[in-house]
Amino acid sequence: MTTNNIALITGASSGIGAVYADRLAKMGYDLILVARNADKLKQVAKKIRNETGAEVEVVIADLSQKDELLKIESLIKENKAINLLVNSAGVGAVAPLLQSNVDKMEDMIDINVTALTRLSYAAAPEFIGRANGTIINIASIVAIGPEILNGVYGASKAYVLALTQSLQHELGQKGLRVQAVVPGATATEFWDAAGMPHSNLPSEIVMSAEDMVDAALKGLELGEVVTIPPLQDGGDWAQYEGARKLLSQKFGNAKPGARYA
């Protein structure tokens, strides 16, 4: 992965996105960093330029706004040096469904689902055409355990996981690399914005953003389509996926199951 190509990272002003920016710059990438917090994003960019000498472009954009999202889509299509997209921008929630404002839930869907989808749609054909490109989508363990936190948040991350697996199925043999990263509780500002600072969580379940991203990049190196940094035994995921795929082969029947007679 050591290149002079360009990685575009959304949600790059803090947390997981900022760590990806640091790590990829140190691996030889130049960067396009996207976020809506201009001050924080510029600070991240300055630090990376000073420490690595990488070329870093800053793009201030709110991906929940259609016109600003379209600007990033166009950038991906027009800049042929971009060969890595990290969809790290995301919004979370911890409150139960009926205690959550539905307008804020819709805003979450705009970022976690719509923006990620449109940027992936912009990148995939470009990367296939160049026979060189990778899309990294940041999901969450709530994609697998929707009971853990807010239901809309869990559903949005289940979408991210399913979309990534579908991209692998459809386009993995056409030159596109995809990876869904599935973090557990990670020590970032995400929790503050969601209303539950990670300092309130048991320390033994909270991973640093640096460890999480380093593990995710190792998973990419190993060729994993789904990387779950906090999962200690990777065989557990292989077993789960095997059972899921086996079950999915049992749905093709013209008649309902006998239990519905």
**Model's pTM, two decimal places?**
0.94
Strands 186-187 and 207-208: parallel
For the chain, the straight-line distance linking the first and the last C-alpha, in angstroms and rounded, comes to: 56
- Long-range contacts from 159-167, C-beta under 8 angstroms, 24+ separation: 159/112, 159/113, 160/87, 160/112, 160/113, 160/116, 161/226, 163/116, 163/117, 163/120, 163/137, 164/135, 164/137, 164/139, 164/225, 164/226, 165/225, 165/226, 167/120, 167/124, 167/135
Q: Which CATH superfamily is domain 6-235 in?
A: NAD(P)-binding Rossmann-like Domain (3.40.50.720)
Q: Annotated active-site positions, please?
A: 153
Rounded to the nearest 5°, which phi and psi values hold at 127?
Answer: -70, -40
Boundaries of every domain in the chain = 6-235
pLDDT tens across the length of the chain (261 residues): 345 699 999 999 999 999 999 999 999 999 999 999 999 999 999 999 999 999 999 999 999 999 999 999 999 999 999 999 999 999 988 888 888 999 999 999 999 999 999 999 999 999 998 888 999 999 999 999 999 989 999 999 999 999 999 999 999 999 999 999 999 999 987 766 656 666 666 788 899 999 999 999 999 999 999 999 999 999 999 999 999 999 999 999 999 999 999
Distance, CA of 228 to CA of 212 (rounded, Å): 9
pLDDT of residue 188: 85
